[in-house]
Amino acid sequence: MALKLQGHSKLKKKRDRMLLTMCIPAMIKLFVFAYLPMIGIYLAFVDYSPRKGLSSEFIGLKNFEFFFKSGDAFRIIGTTIGTNFLFIIVGLILALSLALLMNEVKSKAFLKFVQGVSFIPYFLSWLVVGYLFSAFLDNYGIISKIISKITGIKDYSFYTNSDYWLIILTVANMWKSVGVTAVIYLANIISIDKEYYEAADLDGAKWLQKVFYITLPFLVPMICVTTLMNIGNIVRSDFGLFFFVTKNSGPVMRVFEVIDTYVYKLTMESSASDAVQRSAAAGLLQSITGMALVLGSNAVVKKINKESSLF
Amino acid sequence: MLKMKKGQAVSQVALYTVLFLFALFCVIPLLLAISITFSDGDSIMRNGYKLIPEKWSIEAYRVLFSNFTGIWRAYGVSLFVTFFGLASSLLVTILVAYPLSVIDFRFRGFVSFFVFFTMMFSGGTISYYIFTVKYLGMKNNIWVLVVTQILVPSNVFLLRTFFSAVPDSIYESARLDGAGEYAILFRIAVPLTFPGIITIGLFIVLQYWNDYITGMLFIDVQTMYPLQLLLYKYSNYIKDLTYGSGSLPADESLLFAMCVIATVPMLVVFMFFQKYFVRGLTSGAVKE
């Protein structure tokens, strides 16, 4: 079809000009709120003083040096990557299992019910989710009361120490998103040609055999792509999960601080004189490694399945 | 044969049970919160939260509806922001997604990259904050809640796949008839991809309604708080609320009542548009 317009290069030029005008509002917005602030990356390399702003003294990589020497860096980066890694694996296993189970449901109404209900958490903000979870975890909480009874600790609250928080954060994260991910997998399972299963039935294949020899192999490309994309985002955390579900409580955050919460707190809550440059340095580090990982995983995705790559 | 059928029946029961428990797991936190809003304050103090209130009370809602003008103001702010956010963001997204679906558009690669790059790389929170506050002077400007959130790159790419799904020949024949690109977009592409547009619109509504970070960064005047920010800073309010009036609900009941009130609109939206959400989330992920 494109060929037809090639003969009309004048028309194509006019069309392209019109199409370009359509892009302008989006590009202006991104230019102002995404590209212009990139100038601020420079703050990571200066000894920031609010009076001087961008003309503060240039100190090279010193800020990064401080960040790493303070010992914060390795802990925070480790927590960020570690928790994300856990979420990827648990999320994959749970979502896949759920999708496989949903696929076996014969009753359309029941399936619709389960799907609808499992989508509800997706519509709540992390802020609200944080409060909802506190109804299980704070000193009046249902689970805390049980722990109080077992251990005899009066008014036990999960927010006063970092025990169990790896589990709590994982559960909260799964609770919020696994329903949606499962439905995405289910949509792919449904699209598998039924003939494979009919042939397998004739051969007397059991359910598990069909899962392992038909369904899962069919899903492998998608699983690889999703997982790689997630790995590309492994240095970025869900700010809401780590800030609101933990209620930003000191004892928990001492262990579960991630880059995003760290940067936010330096920006908004810190009165330290070097908060700006430290925040800038941590943010830049995250951005650069994040980009490298996205590009890297995209290159791998491209090798596996060209159509699924981002670019 | 009979034996096998019995086995199947058992596994069907197990299947339904597991999925039912999963569904329960998904709603229990919400049900617990609703129960707390109807619980009497004293019984919470004594025995903690219960899935079914020990002693019922509607005080929390009474106080919220009668004493608390703050939450209704925040409701207004959130409605305002969501309305203008939806209008502007949807229009901008449609406008940029369409050219990106035209395969031989000369600047396609450039614009695509321009949008995509912002997903990968950012100047960081601190420079975004300083730039918006110092250079744009948008601290405590209600439009900051609208403008900074216009255009989510992933929405652009999702909508582009909807536009690309329309057969090229439809666009081409309109072009050969001399139709301008704006006419093609709004008279042909948009009507043909209406479910896709609704999906994107819903994502945008959800994004604006649940946005807390923009408020946390840029708004500190109480009269401009959107709902999420009000919820975040609720403890400052609870004191005002509970000061000097007679029988009072527990602070927790009030808080959870606020959570429920803030969440209900999105659940209603979801109930009405469930179909579009499922389609939007699964499209692009499914191999044709």
A268 to B270: CB separation less than 8 angstroms, yes or no: no
Angstroms from A108 CA to nearest CA on chain B: 12
Instruction: Say which residue, A51 or B210, is predicted with more confidence.
Output: B210
B116 to A280: CB separation less than 8 angstroms, yes or no: no
Alpha helix locations (H) across chain A?
2-6, 9-30, 62-69, 72-104, 108-119, 126-137, 142-151, 165-190, 194-202, 207-210, 216-232, 239-240, 250-256, 259-268, 275-304
Contacts A140 to B, Cβ<8 Å: 44-45, 48-49, 252
pTM tops 0.95: no
Query: Which of A213, A225, A129 lies closest to A171 in space, CA to CA?
Result: A129
Number of inter-chain CB pairs under 8 A, A vs B: 276
- Tokens linked to B197: 């547009």
- Cα B196 to Cα A151, B51, B283: the distances in Å are 54, 39, 9
Q: Which residue of B has its CA nearest to A115?
A: B23
Q: Which residue of A has its CA nearest to B281?
A: A184
Average of pLDDT values for B115-131? Answer: 92
Per-residue pLDDT tens digits for A167-226 = 999 999 999 999 999 998 998 999 898 899 999 999 998 888 999 999 999 998 888 888
* Integer-rounded Cα radius of gyration of chain A: 25
- Written as one string, the DSSP assignment of A176-204 is HHHHHHHHHHHHHHHTS-HHHHHHHHHTT
pLDDT over 90 percentage in chain B: 61
Low-confidence ranges of chain A (pLDDT < 50): 1-3
A311 to B116: CB separation less than 8 angstroms, yes or no: yes
- CA B252/CA B237 separation, integer angstroms: 12
Q: Which helix (H) or strand (E) is A46 found in, with range?
A: strand A46-47
- CA B257/CA B251 separation, integer angstroms: 10
Task: Provide the pLDDT for residue B1.
Answer: 41
- Tokens linked to A151: 């251990």
Query: Which of B59, B19, B70, B87 lies closest to B246 in space, CA to CA?
Result: B59
Task: Provide the pLDDT for residue A4.
Answer: 53
Angstroms from B250 CA to nearest CA on chain A: 12
- Of B24-38, B163-177, B274-288, minimum mean pLDDT range: B274-288
Per-residue pLDDT tens digits for A57-85 = 899 899 898 888 878 889 999 999 999 99
A294 to B120: CB separation less than 8 angstroms, yes or no: yes
Q: Are A47 and A277 in contact (CB under 8 A)?
A: yes
Q: Are B286 and A187 in contact (CB under 8 A)?
A: yes
Query: Which of B98, B103, B101 lies closest to B187 in space, CA to CA?
Result: B98
Task: Provide the pLDDT for residue A303.
Answer: 83
A117 to B23: CB separation less than 8 angstroms, yes or no: yes
Q: Are A162 and A250 in contact (CB under 8 A)?
A: no
> How high is the ipTM of this complex?
0.90
Phi, psi of A125, deg, nearest 5: -80, 155
Contacts A10 to B, Cβ<8 Å: none
Per-residue pLDDT tens digits for B43-64 = 888 888 999 998 898 888 888 8
- Written as one string, the DSSP assignment of B235-253 is HHHHHHHHTT-SS---HHH
- Contacts of A18-22 with C-beta under 8 Å, sequence gap 24+, read A18/B180, A18/B181, A18/B182, A19/B98, A19/B99, A19/B102, A19/B105, A19/B107, A19/B181, A20/B99, A20/B107, A20/B111, A22/B95, A22/B96, A22/B98, A22/B99, A22/B181, A22/B182, A22/B185
B127 to A37: CB separation less than 8 angstroms, yes or no: yes
Surface-to-core class of residue B127, CB atoms within 10 Å of its CB (0-12 exposed, 13-18 middle, 19+ buried)? buried
pLDDT category, B288, cuts 50, 70, 90?
very low
Whether B33 shows a pLDDT value over 60: the answer reads yes
Contacts B182 to A, Cβ<8 Å: 18, 22
- Return the axis-axis angle of helices B251-282 and A165-190, rounded to nearest 10°: 30
